[in-house]
Amino acid sequence: MRLELTKRGDYGVRAMLALASAPPGALLSVRRIADEMGIPVRFLPQVMGDLGRAGLVQSSPGRTGGYRLARPASAVSLLDVVEAVEGDSRRRMCILRGGPCGLDGVTCAVHDPFFAAQDAMIGQLSAADLASIARDRMIGSEEKA
């Protein structure tokens, strides 16, 4: 079993952590976010567009423009970010059959435990807010220094 993000999801999470770590209201350019978080600069504008369409970031165009969080980091969950760039996290397909589970009125033998695990994962991602993650990231880098 795998729990992993696509590159797009990875870049979205890292970009949002950069914005959450910036001073409130500060604008960060795509180049600065990319450099700070090790993201290829050519992919970041598309990811930032996804985040903007989801209402997670605001952009300010122009030479001195950039991106900032659209709401406080404490009000943005990791699930919000992942779903903004990767889509709905809920699995709709049967683990065993490869089609919709319960379509014929019968769920597969592993439906309940797998969907309970999915709900637990979604609950954890929903409970993890960017402010806490960014704070833990800063504390971790201070301890290494």
Q: What is the pLDDT of residue 125?
A: 93
Q: What is the mean pLDDT of residues 6-25?
A: 94
Whole-angstrom Cα distance, residue 27 to residue 32?
Answer: 10
Q: What is the mean pLDDT of residues 17-26?
A: 92
User: Quick check: 76 and 20 in contact, CB under 8 A?
Assistant: yes
Whole-angstrom Cα distance, residue 67 to residue 76?
Answer: 15
Whole-angstrom Cα distance, residue 127 to residue 30?
Answer: 28
pTM here is 0.84
Q: What is the pLDDT of residue 68?
A: 97
DSSP-based three-state secondary structure for 68: strand
pLDDT 10s digits, 39-73: 999 999 999 999 999 999 999 988 888 999 999 99
Q: What is the pLDDT of residue 109?
A: 77
User: Quick check: 26 and 33 in contact, CB under 8 A?
Assistant: no
Whole-angstrom Cα distance, residue 54 to residue 76?
Answer: 11
Q: What is the pLDDT of residue 29?
A: 95
Strand partners, 57: 69
Q: Any idea where the domains of the chain sit in the sequence?
A: 7-144
Neighbouring CB atoms inside 10 A of 49's CB total 13
* Amino acid identity at 44: L
Cα 137 to the chain's mean position, in Å? 15
pLDDT 10s digits, 67-111: 999 999 999 999 999 999 998 877 667 766 666 666 666 777 787
Q: What is the pLDDT of residue 111?
A: 78
Q: What is the pLDDT of residue 94?
A: 72
Q: What is the mean pLDDT of residues 14-33?
A: 94
Q: Domain 7-144: which CATH class? A: mainly alpha
DSSP annotation of 71: S
Q: What is the mean pLDDT of residues 6-11?
A: 94
- Got the DSSP string for 34-61? HHHHT--TTTHHHHHHHHHHTTSEEEE-
Q: What is the pLDDT of residue 107?
A: 74
